[in-house]
């Protein structure tokens, strides 16, 4: 089955034409033709070719323009790529961080209809006041201020109508393109496009369900309950569904509003430290962190506390991952490349053979380039992302949440530096990492680890006899199977299949030529212009099939 058979519905086909047009317009025509999309939409493909432009833009710039023109789903996919510094080059990541989610707000009638469908009551019965003008509008939802009947001020997040269906269509197209990339452009497998789209589909699915975001918000609220520095809005559960989210309205000044902060008279350096400590507590204490801490999600309250909102994207860390992360942070802050390499190798998902000596040498060169600088002048998140990128170049696959944390650190550092030019994230993070690393050697931690090891050993000893007996039984009965996994043969098999099809096609054409010649020489049957009709029809069909074969070979670029 051809990979583009994944596109079946008429709306998906129409959207695919739009995607092709935008790709061609921004200099990705070679991708369109490499993926054989011209075979699927030959006339559209040739008609669109005239729109392709050759502009002196970088790959990152062309990708950004492409995603912005294709709309919300592709913008979010580009924002996901920003979080994958393990597989995307740093220059492309920097350009994609400029992606803007520009969408107009949807009208109040649609807001009212969505609330009525989800809560079974119109807004005027639920809220004492409801501001029809949105406070903010994005591709997935928009936010309105309102007041409950009790007088409590809240914000209402309402999902954009039709967004689920549109994203479903775009996700199918992205899935199709990812399969095409891996099939026809083998070099793209280093970026794991199919796995990327699969991860993106899961992420978007969570973001489209506001109940998931509400649970994350409530979990952050419990983690920071009573914290004097951080405030998390409370969720109104009776008014929260998959498409409507109602939360406490916390009014403050955004951390990037310099005039507002100055008028409030807050200590900007203190705010930066509070934000950094809150973020590092999320990582090292709760192992559950806000993965998108940009300035729009931070605000400062009059009492000096920081309010954190929008928990649609979060990350989770298990104990082993966090332990290795702590050692990597310490190694980077101390410019110890050998130690960083050792712990990164322990983090990898797949235990594959790599050139460890070259990896250690490359990592040492990168880390030591920062040696000699004051710690406050080093961007920890940037160094961590560069470390991840070096690891990826050596086919070292790291856990997605580890990569997500690198991007969050970059954003958090940028917020801190904006508030305080002398903000030193490295020093703060090193303190938390050292305390966490040392805590793993405390009496309670050692006792807990020993108990876990003992439990695993008991389980192994209990199951081992049965497993060995099963293996020997299969060996003695001849039912033991050994599976081999080939690598790098997909392209060879595909080319062999194409060549055999062309040979068979050519044999059919040759047979038609011979048969038509025999019929013509027999001079029987009805005639047209003195030539037997069947023989003439055979020659016409032969010419058409022959031209089709020649055009197919020329289009593939392989004569």
Residues acting as catalytic residues: 292
| CB contact set of 468 (below 8 Å; sequence gap of 6+) | none
d(CA 283, CA 546): 65
d(CA 118, CA 111): 11
| CB contact set of 432 (below 8 Å; sequence gap of 6+) | 280, 281, 283, 284
Nearest to 409 by CA among 316, 231, 280, 270: 280
Q: What is the DSSP letter of 284?
A: I
d(CA 463, CA 457): 10
Distances from the Cα of 293 to the Cα of 64, 404, 419, angstroms = 21, 12, 14
d(CA 382, CA 396): 19
Strands 527-528 and 298-300: unpaired
| CB contact set of 272 (below 8 Å; sequence gap of 6+) | 415, 416, 419, 420, 423
Hey, which residues does 225 pair with through a beta bridge?
none
Helix (H) or strand (E) holding 333: helix 319-333
Distances from the Cα of 159 to the Cα of 114, 144, 191, 416, angstroms = 8, 11, 32, 31
Nearest to 192 by CA among 355, 94, 80: 80
Nearest to 144 by CA among 40, 247, 17: 247
Q: What is the DSSP letter of 98?
A: T
For every residue of 335-370, DSSP letters joined together read T-HHHHHHHHHHH-SS-----HHHHHHHHHHHHHTT
d(CA 77, CA 82): 9
């Amino acid at each position: 089955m051809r990979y583009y058979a994944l596109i079946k519905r008429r709306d998906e086909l129409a959207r695919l034409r739009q995607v092709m047009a935008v790709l061609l317009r921004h200099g990705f025509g070679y991708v369109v033709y490499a993926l054989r999309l011209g075979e699927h939409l030959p006339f559209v493909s040739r008609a669109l070719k005239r729109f392709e432009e050759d502009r002196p833009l970088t790959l990152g710039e062309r990708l950004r323009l492409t995603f912005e023109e294709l709309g919300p789903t592709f913008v979010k996919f580009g924002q996901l790529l920003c979080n994958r510094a393990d597989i995307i080059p740093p220059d492309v990541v920097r350009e994609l961080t400029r992606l803007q989610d520009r969408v107009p707000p949807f009208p109040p009638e649609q807001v009212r209809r969505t609330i009525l469908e989800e809560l079974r009551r119109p807004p005027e019965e639920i809220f004492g006041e409801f501001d029809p003008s949105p406070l903010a509008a994005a591709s997935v939802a928009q936010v309105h201020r309102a007041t409950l009947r009790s007088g409590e001020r809240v914000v209402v997040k309402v999902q954009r109508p039709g967004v689920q269906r549109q994203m479903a269509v775009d996700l199918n197209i992205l899935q199709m393109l990812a399969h095409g990339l891996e099939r026809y452009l083998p070099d793209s497998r280093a970026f794991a496009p199919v796995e990327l789209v699969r991860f993106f589909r899961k992420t978007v699915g969570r973001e489209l369900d506001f109940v998931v975001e509400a649970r994350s918000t409530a979990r952050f609220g419990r983690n920071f309950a009573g914290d004097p520095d951080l405030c998390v809005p409370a969720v109104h559960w009776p008014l929260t569904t998959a498409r409507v989210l109602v939360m406490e309205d916390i009014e403050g000044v955004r951390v990037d509003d310099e005039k507002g902060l100055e008028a409030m008279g807050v200590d900007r350096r203190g705010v930066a430290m509070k934000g950094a400590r809150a973020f590092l507590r999320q990582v090292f204490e709760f192992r559950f962190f806000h993965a998108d801490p940009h300035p729009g999600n931070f605000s400062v309250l009059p009492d000096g506390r920081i309010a954190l909102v929008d928990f649609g994207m979060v990350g989770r860390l298990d104990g082993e991952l966090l332990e290795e992360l702590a050692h990597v942070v310490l190694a980077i802050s101390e410019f110890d490349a050998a130690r960083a390499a050792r712990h990164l190798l322990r983090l990898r998902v797949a235990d594959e053979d790599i050139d460890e000596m070259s990896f250690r040498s490359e990592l040492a060169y990168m880390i030591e380039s920062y040696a000699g600088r004051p710690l406050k002048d080093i961007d920890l998140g940037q160094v961590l992302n560069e470390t991840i990128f070096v690891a990826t170049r050596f086919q070292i696959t790291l856990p997605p949440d580890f990569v997500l944390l690198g991007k969050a650190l970059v954003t958090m550092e940028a917020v801190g530096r904006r508030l305080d030019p002398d903000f030193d994230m490295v020093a703060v993070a090193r303190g938390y990492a050292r305390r966490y690393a040392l805590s793993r050697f405390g009496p309670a931690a050692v006792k807990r680890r020993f108990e876990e090891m003992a439990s695993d050993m008991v389980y192994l000893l209990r199951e081992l006899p049965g497993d060995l007996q099963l293996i020997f039984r299969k060996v003695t009965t001849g039912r033991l199977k050994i599976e081999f996994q080939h690598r790098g043969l997909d392209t060879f098999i595909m080319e062999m299949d194409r060549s055999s099809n062309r040979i068979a096609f050519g044999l059919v054409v040759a047979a038609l030529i011979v048969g038509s010649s025999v019929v013509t020489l027999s001079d029987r049957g009805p005639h047209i212009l003195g030539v037997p009709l069947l023989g003439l029809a055979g020659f016409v069909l032969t010419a058409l099939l022959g031209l089709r074969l020649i055009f197919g070979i020329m289009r593939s670029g392989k004569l």
